Structure 1
């Protein structure tokens, strides 16, 4: 007993030190650390040990000290993964270790804009140095319709089925895989939101997406999409040419004659092509752009109107249109737009 009494203070001191060290260690692992590398990728090489990783991150200031994170990884038997990491600021050592266990890879972003054609998408892909592809090679990949043939046996290429969205992908992805991802995204959206309604209306995927692509290229305002859809359906019902400029432009691109300056010339209007709806009756043979969900929605739920025409409203700069149910009013609208354009050109 006397010996135990002599040892008790020492044991209490050791216990207090252990408790203090444990509390400090826990606080250290949970203390947020601000650093200057939040917008950068940190490469953890393959084969790096826990100590090497902790030392590397401490040198960057992501960890205040290397050894608490290292000890913690040893205690829990963590298996940090090689990869390219972004560590937000501030971040705790505990969160750092969790990220290292989960693994992370640099992701690039690729955005397809609503209304883009396959030419636009191919050009955007060619601007990504990681893909090492030119526009013509990308376009050739878009001629493979195997990913969509079950939905649209008529498809000659993937126009209309490269869904507009922002995609994240690793740097070593193949161009073919990016294209496949866009098509899979279309299929996901179609089956989740639109397939049943198209079936109920007796419309094929091909017809809906083609009409939606016309709406996408014509309507700039969400509220006008159902109105533009109504004009398309009304003109089809009356066997009137659709007269949509985006199809004229598409026909010019197919012929290799589009100048890319936004101007539709008389030679474009007169070009014989099934896509030129100034000349050909009915819908074009296929989509002329990538429609988003709002345009697909409008194609399946058009407004009920008698409208047959529309023309841009000259006093607004948001792409608004005026809609008409007779040719005389439409021609007056066209004249008003031409006069506004003439006055604008005449301004110094």
Structure 2
């Protein structure tokens, strides 16, 4: 009888321990994430803030807190974290404790000023636009890499890149410099040398080509025209550089739809009607197609170009001034009919 009683007690104890084991096993390993989502953990967030941001996605925040304590998870690692529906509490804690964040696919294109670029990047990374702009304009960084506040925009090659969300402004800038250096491989460097242009000069000319035409197929022709002018010691007479000069005076948001004769007299190093050669720096952020258009410019005898009224967005090219004047007259008459005075 005593043995039977002891056996019963043992069974009860075993069942009790088993139930406790199952209870805690479920708290640790059962599904606790009710919906998928992305959680951004700032560098200033603490554990309390983490749980606050997690609460809308999980069934029981207390289980998360308990398992975190069990695993001695207290040091928060900032970043962008992707959580998946049906993840266990254990997996969730391990992800945050290990800092296994998801990379951000960052992209930018044609941000024509450092300010606009900083704003665009701050939309995709934790770093704010002020810290980014400060990093871009850091005097030590500029001097060490032979750039200034005007030319530094040229290191940012428009593309898609992967970054961790909490990448600092300085690390982002440094990574972009490395990408720029990698972009200038031996093939591109040799092509620039063949044109008797430096990397910065190629970028500067590419920025003019970028602003001159949005048609990728036309860019090698435009690049070839400007190279013809440079190589024959002609002024570029590029309207985009005049527009850039106007905006330096009027402000970046000043809209110029038509360059007037009076504009051609603006006293600016960026006025390529009054100054020979390339302007001091790029006037916009050129994309890869514009840079490669310069490096692979079409060889031809064109020296003049004018916006086309028959193929809007394209240009009419001419070898002689007489032909160009006819094209220009047609275009000016079209502008007048459209009522475009500025």
Q: Pick from 194, 208, 211 the counterpart of residue 214 of structure 1.
A: 208
SS for the counterpart of 2:317 is strand
SS for the counterpart of 2:306 is strand
Alignment partner of 1:46 is 2:21 = no
Is the Cα–Cα contact under 8 Å of residues 114 and 164 in structure 1 kept in the other structure? no
Q: Pick from 73, 79, 83 the counterpart of residue 78 of structure 1.
A: 73
Is the Cα–Cα contact under 8 Å of residues 216 and 291 in structure 1 kept in the other structure? yes
Structure 1 window deviating more from structure 2 (60-69 vs 111-120): it is 111-120
Is the Cα–Cα contact under 8 Å of residues 115 and 217 in structure 1 kept in the other structure? no
Alignment partner of 1:193 is 2:183 = yes
Q: Partners in 1 of 2:138 and 2:66 — Cα distance?
A: 53
Match of 1:114 in 2: 110
Q: Partners in 2 of 1:119 and 1:338 — Cα distance?
A: 34
Cα offset, 1:33, TM superposition: 0.8
Is the Cα–Cα contact under 8 Å of residues 87 and 96 in structure 1 kept in the other structure? no
Segments of 5+ residues of structure 1 without an aligned counterpart are: none
Q: Partners in 1 of 2:138 and 2:228 — Cα distance?
A: 34
Residues 206, 284 of structure 1: CA spacing in aligned structure 2 closer, same or farther, 3 A cutoff? Answer: same
Aligned residues: 326
Residues 99, 27 of structure 1: CA spacing in aligned structure 2 closer, same or farther, 3 A cutoff? Answer: closer
Q: Pick from 292, 315, 327 the counterpart of residue 297 of structure 1.
A: 292
Deviations 1:222-257 (A, max 9, x none): 222222211111111222211111211233345569
Q: Pick from 321, 335, 341 the counterpart of residue 341 of structure 1.
A: 335
Deviations 1:8-50 (A, max 9, x none): 9938973995599279728963354127xx57757795364xx
Cα offset, 1:335, TM superposition: 3.0
Q: Pick from 260, 285, 292 the counterpart of residue 280 of structure 2.
A: 285
Match of 1:314 in 2: 309
Residues 248, 100 of structure 1: CA spacing in aligned structure 2 closer, same or farther, 3 A cutoff? Answer: same
Q: Partners in 2 of 1:78 and 1:228 — Cα distance?
A: 60
Residues 302, 85 of structure 1: CA spacing in aligned structure 2 closer, same or farther, 3 A cutoff? Answer: closer
Match of 2:34 in 1: 33
Q: What TM-score comes out, normalization by structure 2 length?
A: 0.70
Cα offset, 1:301, TM superposition: 2.0
Deviations 1:280-312 (A, max 9, x none): 222122222222333222222222333322222
Q: Give the aligned CA root-mean-square deviation in angstroms.
A: 5.0
Is the Cα–Cα contact under 8 Å of residues 46 and 82 in structure 1 kept in the other structure? no
Match of 1:268 in 2: 263
Match of 1:227 in 2: 221
Is the Cα–Cα contact under 8 Å of residues 144 and 157 in structure 1 kept in the other structure? no
Segments of 5+ residues of structure 2 without an aligned counterpart are: none
Alignment partner of 1:161 is 2:162 = no
SS for the counterpart of 2:76 is coil
Match of 2:94 in 1: 98
Deviations 1:304-346 (A, max 9, x none): 33332222233455x3333333333333332333343334349
Q: Partners in 1 of 2:86 and 2:260 — Cα distance?
A: 59
SS for the counterpart of 1:98 is helix
Alignment partner of 1:204 is 2:194 = no
SS for the counterpart of 1:303 is coil
Q: Partners in 2 of 1:293 and 1:276 — Cα distance?
A: 25
Q: What TM-score comes out, normalization by structure 1 length?
A: 0.69
Is the Cα–Cα contact under 8 Å of residues 160 and 209 in structure 1 kept in the other structure? no
